[in-house]
Amino acid sequence: MFKVQQTIGSVLCCKCGVPMPPNAANMCVNCLRSEVDITEGLQKSIQIFYCPECGCYLQPPKTWIKAQWESRDLLSFCIKRLKNLNKVRLKNAEFVWTEPHSKRIKVKLTVQAEVLNGAVLEQSYPVEYTVRDNLCESCSRFQANPDQWVASVQLRQHVSHRRSFFYLEQLILRHDAASRAVRIKQVHQGIDFFFGNKRHADSFVDFLSKVVPIEYRQDKQLVSHDVKSSLYNYKYTYSVKICPICREDLIFLPSKVAIGLGNLGPLVVCTKVSDNITLLDPRTLRCAFLDASQYWRSGFRSALTSRQLVKYSVFYVEPPVGETTVGGQKYALSYVQIARESDTGNLFCVQTHLGHILKTGDQALGYDIYGANVNDDEMEKYRLHGRLPEAILIKKCYDKERERKKGKPRAFTTKKLPMEMDESRGGRGVDPGKMENEYEEFLRDLEENPELRFNISLYKNKDYQESDETASMTDGEGAPTVPIEELLAELELSEEGEGDGEDDMDE
């Protein structure tokens, strides 16, 4: 269809007479602006409260919102605080620079509103926010008494070593479970965690129950009591006990438990502790699982722990008679001839489940049942009947290979939780030298067992050079180490930008 070209003519602004294209109000923009102020009735200055400790802004009545200076969060917070802004349409908002110490925030808002006969006018105007310092409740409570905690979790394991706690520490770091703890304190045979909130403590105990078998009880103590409104202020304490059975422990099962597990040979080795305990009978290669509630029903303790491991030399290994794979771990049953390092004259021929990794001339660590003095009547009865093996081998010993690497740094490092040491208990506190040794053993454990590393973050050691390692690897088998693909690079925030991100290749 043929359409005639329409050229918009120009009229004179009815106020000032300047020619302009016609609009709904027939006034030029300046006259319209002078005529109508759409920002009338809108708030131009307002007070906001800021907590200097935690960097939060108050949204009354009680919420504190964390926001950075001149960030988008702060902008949306500022706009939300303005009343009456729904009468006009907000087109644009931006910060105007103010000196941070001036305690003023200036925001320039551009609004649109309809005036007169439908003409839409756009106007921008500044809003000034006066920032007043006001400590938020949690910060003020913290200031008043920095040791203030509402809930605490007292984690204990009644064994003589701290291996479980090292492992647990790494797990906690990996899953960030203790990020909300106010304080962490190391005590004899345990760790105390303090939280500012009962919910945080609850979730932490939940996390623990998923990774180790625990039993806990919860108690509360009245701190204060508001009679008029019947508000009670409590301090909650969770008493958490980790089961004392650890990896590589030798356990003599009480008869009830053994029968309950299908007549599992009364002498078992604990191979893995997660939220279940895995027990392996080294003679039949049968595995059984006990979960926390099952364990705590009987509450048996280990007969021999890893402290009592003895070095054995392996003289002869027969080919394996049976193989099995349990939980990803391979075991092979075979007969070996071994003798204790300290007493090489005395040869024993025993069954072992390590047939797949032992070879003649190896060293192994195991429990010397022949020479042990165990405080257990039932076990003594078995010994009298001659049904106890002389020794049970637990793992291969890599000490010779480690000699070569002595003094050289490891390929990986681990992070630590910010723990306080318990100095106060005079003598019963932890001995730093002993801790070092135990930690060294823990790291060796990590190197030898890939399944332990599964849930842990290990970081590349910056001081470690790969060339040293490969040079010495030429002769024979080296000690087991953590393959470099499993290590995470630490996040370095430097001037040039971020360092390599995580190259995590977990199995």
Q: How far is CA 185 from the centre of its chain?
A: 16
Toward another protein, which CB reaches closer, 120 or 259?
120
Q: Buried b vs exposed e over 318-338: b needs ≥16 C-beta within 10 Å?
A: eebeeeeebeebebbbbebeb
The pair of structure tokens assigned to 33 is 């602006």
Pairing mode, strands 231-242 and 214-226? antiparallel
Residue number with CB closer to another protein (3 or 228): 3
In terms of phi and psi (left: phi > 0; alpha: psi -120 to 50; beta: otherwise), the region of 55 is: left
For another protein, the closer of residues 118 and 319 by Cβ is 118
Task: For another protein, give the closer residue by CB, 34 or 179.
Answer: 34
Kindly tell me which of 113 and 290 has the beta carbon lying closer to another protein: 113
**Shortest separation between residue 114's beta carbon and another protein, angstroms:** 15
State the minimum distance, in angstroms, from the CB of residue 5 to another protein.
Answer: 7
Residues of the shown chain interacting with another protein in the complex, contacts defined by CB under 8 A: 4-9, 11-17, 22, 25-27, 116-117
- What's the closest the beta carbon of residue 18 comes to another protein, in angstroms? 9
Q: 426-440: string of b/e by CB count within 10 Å (b at 16+)?
A: eeeebeeeeeeebee
Alpha helices in 123-225 (DSSP H): 137-144, 163-175, 198-211
Quick one: 26 or 276, whose CB is closer to another protein?
26
> Based on CB atoms, which residue is closest to another protein, 36 or 79?
36
Between CA 329 and CA 451 the distance in angstroms is 9
Q: How far is the CB of 22 from another protein (least distance, A)?
A: 4
Cis, peptide link before residue 61, omega less than 30° from 0: yes
User: Is 218:236 a contact under the CB 8 Å cutoff?
Assistant: yes
User: Of the two residues 8 and 222, which places its CB atom closer to another protein in the complex?
Assistant: 8
Torsion of CA 353, 357, 362, 364, to 10 degrees: -40
CB of 6 to another protein, least distance (A): 4
DSSP characters over 33-94: HHH--TTTTS--EEEEEEETTTTEEEETTTEEEE--TT-HHHHHHHHHH-SSGGGSEEEEEE
Write down the least CB distance from residue 20 to another protein, Å.
10
Question: Which of residues 13 and 264 has its CB atom nearest to another protein in the complex?
Answer: 13
Closest-CA residue to 65 (of 142, 141, 136, 146):
136
Minimum distance from CB of 4 to another protein (Å)? 6
Query: What does DSSP say about strands 89-96 and 104-115: parallel, antiparallel, or unpaired?
Result: antiparallel
Report the distance separating Cα 428 and Cα 361, nearest Å: 42
Least CB distance to another protein at residue 35 (A): 9
Whichever of 16 and 321 has its CB closer to another protein, that residue is 16
In the complex, least distance from residue 55 CB atom to another protein, rounded to whole angstroms: 51
Please provide the size of the chain in residues: 507
Nearest to residue 243, comparing CAs of 192, 299, 184? 299
Shortest Å, Cβ 39 to another protein? 21
Strand partners, 250: 269, 304
272 vs 234: CA distance, rounded Å: 38
Q: At what angle do helices 163-175 and 432-448 cross, to 10 degrees?
A: 70
| Closer residue to another protein (CB): 4 or 384 | 4
